[in-house]
Amino acid sequence: MDIHVLQQIVHETRDARRKQTMPKLSEAERDALIEKYHPDFRESAYRTIKFGPNEGEKTVRELAALLEGDSPVPADLELTPTHTCDVLVVGGGGAGCAAALHAHAQGAKVLFATKLRLGDSNTVMAQGGIQISVTAEDSPVTHFLDTLKGGHMKNDHALLKVMVEEGPSVAQWLLDLGVLFDRDADGNLHVKKGGGSSKPRLLTCSDYTGLEIMRVLKDEVLNQKIQMLEFAAAVELLSDGNGRCTGAVLRDLDNKRFIVVAAKTVVLATGGIGRLHIQGFPTSNHYGATGDGLTMAYRMGAKLMHIDTFQYHPSGAVYPEQLVGALVTEGIRSEGGHLVNAKGERFVNELDTRDVVSSSIIRECEEGRGIRTMAGRVGVWLDTPLLDAEQGPGTIEKHFPAMVMQYDRFGVDISKDPVLIYPTLHYQNGGVQIDTNGESGVANLFVAGEASGGLHGRNRLMGNSLLDLMVYGKRSGLTAAARAKAEPQGKLTLEHLKRFRTEARKHHAADVVSPMLFPAYAKKE
Amino acid sequence: MDMADRNISTKDVIDQEEVLHPRMVTVEIAGKKHQVPEGIAMLKALWYTGQEVIRGVGCLGGFCGACATYYRTKDDPKVKTCLACQTAVHDGMSFSMMPPFPARKATYDLATLADPKQDLFNLYPEAPLCRNCNACTEACPQKIDVREGVWRAVFGDFKAVSEMFMDCVMCGMCAPVCIADIAPSLVAVYVSRAQGVHFTEKPVRLAQRIKEIEDGRFNDEWARVLKMNEQELTKACAELK
């Protein structure tokens, strides 16, 4: 059927829906819904990890295979360093930039390596905003409790307290660098309410918050003349033979040669795993989101946590086909956009946490109340025109220019027509276990941002990722720089890799090389 | 219409003729002709034709500017610009990705600039040399009025520039077309940051919050919350309004 005919039900039911309030679910109802429909609970998608620091624990099959995978680095690689530095930062997104800038500001010699270009990351796409408690009716403690609730009470309290308490000073740091957050008429920072939060505390730069932050951080990295190695992917860490991290092996993506880096400390800011397409889900993630940091840290002996839980963002585009997986920002729901099934009904409080909203969309679709496409996809409507109806014509265009442009390129006017959405693989809730300085279980190996775990519990709250990047990027950068001042460079060995390979042989690990670096999209016959 | 009676079993399927019967079209990628399904994004067309892309792929969401691409549609002499992850292919299209362009970025310490509006002319002395050809505006895949932005920067209207360039993905396609060798996206980053650092009000409430945290205003509340057992915490969370 023509899409406009199918969309009629959304237009017809709009006025009736506007009068309706959707109740929030009780704790028990939330748990029941998630356990029945959330992809984290699809047992067949999981398996036990055979060996290593997380032996016996479960994760998704795609990740388990990579964790048990073999390094591309030969055991007899000549380990004469090409580069020597105090702090090696791996990963050119928000956490990497923050770590590099803060370490550099302490006088550390920083080498900043990334497998694509500086800034090519998920950070640049973050549209929803950054959660920081700045208003009188809000407090860091309330932010703490909101996050804990969203994370199903599984968050590491120490990590979380640090994040919410350092939020305001991080906002000041970004302002001092020139980030242009939206303001109220009185000059104060404008705040919006995010899904799962009891108070409005999202700071935004229209719907380009991540882009604005990255433009500024990238520019500052270049101003500071921090040494960059672009198109250089980290593929293995180096150890001193006694469990301390002493550097890394990178691969030059042009000539495929290994680059040996001697570093007193290493910060992994390698992001998440969307491009593994767990359970066949499309993803909102950037091209390089293949969990490289997890596999390297794991081989080195760092324990991972919460790696059985992933965030499926409720509103990934399903139509048109070219936009599949791309995000439709949560901001639309924050501003009152309804989710509507094929019968024209709302079915969830749109501002509940992401896991609850995603589970409810999957329920609607599995129970036959979804709208299908001929490409074999299914979804529900997000009533975008409602925003103009509620707040006046032009609201969508003014508040969501990025969204409008994205759809406009394919001839869809989201201010006039609702969009079809379904959950998309968005975020790795867990990662490498860290302490409040960002240090992993391996001495001198720091992990910041999405690659780290514990902070967000089993479900990250909207707007907490950008804050995580800035706070733990900073702390890991500062601590790594201080450590580098206090300690000499350790020797460079692959002892950890030899041990790992012995284990792998014992467990007959499959013939997989990790990190994956990029998804294999190019069609080869 | 009675919603309850709506039969949703087979009706709720969106027509996608392009998916049911994908039409193969001919496109020219970097000078070589290929057959690809109509309507797929240019980047997917590259993958479809077996090409690995490393330079030229980033976020895949239209935000990072890595996949800046020149293209021309059938029989039209006009060479246009786009982001390859966001642009569908059609029959007769020709396209090539833009190589990284060696534009000069000035370096500066924003906090210590004495007069950022005047400093613009030291950092980017080419900025006032715009000859109004408008090629930059035409080259912008984000539809920013780049030429206007450059003039506003020169005339010191930094606020307007920062607002106009909020959509800028730094793809850099405005730079190679400039006959005055201006790199407008780099000028705009400088101007926007200067606007933020030097010409934007300090948010009073944020400063208060930072002071409150330093002064330990929340210490009692923290002590109370951090003492709670899981059951009490769950209750506290449930009571959040």
Whether B40 and A322 lie within 8 Å, measured CB to CB:
yes
What is the distance between the alpha carbons of residues A218 and A120, in angstroms, rounded to a whole number?
A: 10
Query: Which pLDDT score is estimated for B7?
Result: 39
CATH topology classification for B110-198: Fumarate Reductase Iron-sulfur Protein; Chain B, domain 2 (1.10.1060)
The two domains B17-97 and B110-198 share their CATH topology (first three levels equal): no
Catalytically active residues of A are 313, 333
| Interface with chain B: mutation pick from A26, A133, A220, A409, highest number of B CBs within 10 Å | A409
What is the distance between the alpha carbons of residues B138 and A407, in angstroms, rounded to a whole number?
A: 20
Q: A291 is written with which tokens?
A: 């969990």
> Nearest by CB to A120, which of B4, B8, B59?
B59
Q: Which helix (H) or strand (E) holds B236?
A: helix B230-238
Residue of A nearest to B213 (CA): A165
AA letter at A504: A
pLDDT band at B46 (very low <50, low <70, confident <90, very high): very high
For residue B23, count other CB atoms closer than 10 A to its CB: 11
Query: Which pLDDT score is estimated for B12?
Result: 77
A5 has a chain B CB within 8 A of its CB: no
B-contacting residues in A 307-326 (Cβ below 8 Å)? 319, 321-322, 326
A77 has a chain B CB within 8 A of its CB: no
The average pLDDT across B58-76 equals 95
Residue B189, judged by CB atoms within 10 A of its CB (0-12, 13-18, 19+), counts as buried
Q: Which residues in chain B touch residue A206, judged by CB atoms under 8 angstroms apart?
A: 166
Q: What percent of chain A stands above pLDDT 90?
A: 88
Cα-based angle A472, A475, A481 (whole degrees, multiple of 5): 135
pLDDT band at A326 (very low <50, low <70, confident <90, very high): confident
- 3 state DSSP class of A247: strand
Residue of B nearest to A201 (CA): B206
DSSP state letters, B145-179: -HHHHHHHHHTT-HHHHHHHGGG-----TTTTT-T
Instruction: Give residue limits of the domains in chain B.
Output: 17-97, 110-198, 204-238
Whether B87 and A27 lie within 8 Å, measured CB to CB:
no
What is the distance between the alpha carbons of residues B67 and B84, in angstroms, rounded to a whole number?
A: 5
Query: Which pLDDT score is estimated for B6?
Result: 39
Query: Which pLDDT score is estimated for A524?
Result: 77
Residue of B nearest to A142 (CA): B240
CB A400 within 8 A of CB A338: no
Predicted TM-score (pTM) of the model is 0.94
Residue range A196-214, pLDDT digits in tens: 899 999 999 998 999 999 9
Q: Which residues in chain B touch residue A20, judged by CB atoms under 8 angstroms apart?
A: none
Residue B134 has pLDDT above 70, yes or no: yes
Residue A28 has pLDDT above 80, yes or no: yes
Average predicted confidence (pLDDT) for chain B: 93
Q: HSE of A417 in the Cβ direction (CA atoms, 13 Å)?
A: 17
A185 has a chain B CB within 8 A of its CB: no
Q: B57 is written with which tokens?
A: 């792929």
Q: Which residues in chain B touch residue A219, judged by CB atoms under 8 angstroms apart?
A: 105, 189-190, 193
A253 has a chain B CB within 8 A of its CB: yes
To the nearest whole angstrom, how far is the Cα of B210 from the nearest Cα of chain A? Answer: 6
What is the distance between the alpha carbons of residues B73 and B88, in angstroms, rounded to a whole number?
A: 11
**φ, ψ of residue A505 in degrees (nearest 5):** -65, -40
CB A414 within 8 A of CB A216: no
The average pLDDT across A124-128 equals 91
Q: B196 is written with which tokens?
A: 């933020």
| Interface with chain B: mutation pick from A285, A424, A521, A524, highest number of B CBs within 10 Å | A521
Q: Which residues in chain A touch residue B168, judged by CB atoms under 8 angstroms apart?
A: 215
Whether B206 and A172 lie within 8 Å, measured CB to CB:
yes
Which region, left, alpha or beta, applies to residue A42 given φ > 0 means left and ψ of -120 to 50 means alpha?
Answer: beta
Residue range B178-194, pLDDT digits in tens: 999 999 999 999 999 99
CB A127 within 8 A of CB A331: yes
pLDDT band at B72 (very low <50, low <70, confident <90, very high): very high
Whether B221 and A139 lie within 8 Å, measured CB to CB:
yes
Q: Which helix (H) or strand (E) holds A295?
A: helix A292-300
Q: Which residues in chain B touch residue A370, judged by CB atoms under 8 angstroms apart?
A: 12
Residue A410 has pLDDT above 90, yes or no: no
Residue B10 has pLDDT above 80, yes or no: no
pLDDT band at A512 (very low <50, low <70, confident <90, very high): very high
What is the distance between the alpha carbons of residues A507 and B229, in angstroms, rounded to a whole number?
A: 40
Residues 6+ apart with CB under 8 A from B193: A177, A178, A216, A219, B110
Whether B209 and A120 lie within 8 Å, measured CB to CB:
no
Lowest-confidence pick of A24-33, A56-65, B73-82, B127-136: A24-33
Average predicted confidence (pLDDT) for chain A: 95
Query: Which pLDDT score is estimated for A353?
Result: 87
A16 has a chain B CB within 8 A of its CB: no
A205 has a chain B CB within 8 A of its CB: yes
Query: Which pLDDT score is estimated for B24?
Result: 94
CB A334 within 8 A of CB A350: no
AA letter at A497: L
The interface predicted TM-score (ipTM) is: 0.94
For residues A269-301, one letter each, b for 16 or more C-beta atoms within 10 angstroms of the residue's C-beta and e for the rest, the string is bbbbbbbbebbebbbbbbbbbbbbbbbbbbbbb
- What Å distances lie between residue A504 and A66, A170, A295, A445, A508, CA to CA? 12, 42, 13, 23, 6
- Crossing angle of helices A464-486 and A209-223, in 10° steps, is 20
Query: Which pLDDT score is estimated for A194?
Result: 86
The average pLDDT across A6-18 equals 94
Whether B15 and A178 lie within 8 Å, measured CB to CB:
no
DSSP state letters, A208-229: -HHHHHHHHHHHHHHHTT-EEE
Q: Which residues in chain A touch residue B142, judged by CB atoms under 8 angstroms apart?
A: 405
Q: Which helix (H) or strand (E) holds B227?
A: helix B219-227
Lowest-confidence pick of A406-415, B135-144, B217-226: A406-415
Residue B3 has pLDDT above 50, yes or no: no
Size of interface A-B (CB pairs under 8 A): 257
Whether A343 and B222 lie within 8 Å, measured CB to CB:
no
> Nearest by CB to B218, which of A139, A222, A410?
A139
> Nearest by CB to A208, which of B143, B166, B189?
B166
Residue A139, judged by CB atoms within 10 A of its CB (0-12, 13-18, 19+), counts as buried
The average pLDDT across A107-136 equals 96
**φ, ψ of residue B10 in degrees (nearest 5):** -120, -15
- 3 state DSSP class of B48: helix
The average pLDDT across A14-18 equals 95
To the nearest whole angstrom, how far is the Cα of A158 from the nearest Cα of chain B? Answer: 9
Q: Which helix (H) or strand (E) holds A506?
A: helix A495-506
Lowest-confidence pick of A11-15, A35-39, A106-110, A334-338: A334-338
- What Å distances lie between residue A54 and A154, A272, B179, CA to CA? 18, 18, 59
- Structural Rg of chain B based on CA atoms: 26
Beta strands in A51-115 (DSSP E): 58-60, 83-90, 110-113
- 3 state DSSP class of A249: strand
Residue A42 has pLDDT above 70, yes or no: yes
Q: Which residues in chain B touch residue A134, judged by CB atoms under 8 angstroms apart?
A: 203, 205-206, 209
> Nearest by CB to B64, which of A1, A120, A135?
A120
Residue range A44-85, pLDDT digits in tens: 999 999 999 999 999 999 999 999 999 999 999 999 999 999
**φ, ψ of residue B70 in degrees (nearest 5):** -95, 140
What is the distance between the alpha carbons of residues B232 and A235, in angstroms, rounded to a whole number?
A: 45
Whether A183 and B201 lie within 8 Å, measured CB to CB:
yes
What is the distance between the alpha carbons of residues A359 and A458, in angstroms, rounded to a whole number?
A: 14
Q: B187 is written with which tokens?
A: 């000028």
Residue B2 has pLDDT above 60, yes or no: no
> Nearest by CB to A206, which of B166, B195, B234?
B166
Q: Which residues in chain A touch residue B3, judged by CB atoms under 8 angstroms apart?
A: 9, 13, 343-345
Give the domains, in start order, of chain A with CATH numbers: 3-37+311-425 (3.90.700.10), 83-309+429-501 (3.50.50.60)
A145 has a chain B CB within 8 A of its CB: yes
Residue range A351-381, pLDDT digits in tens: 888 899 999 999 999 999 999 988 889 999 9
Residue B4 has pLDDT above 50, yes or no: no
Sheet containing strand A452-453, strands side by side: A304-305, A431-433, A452-453
CATH superfamily to which B17-97 belongs: Beta-grasp domain (3.10.20.30)
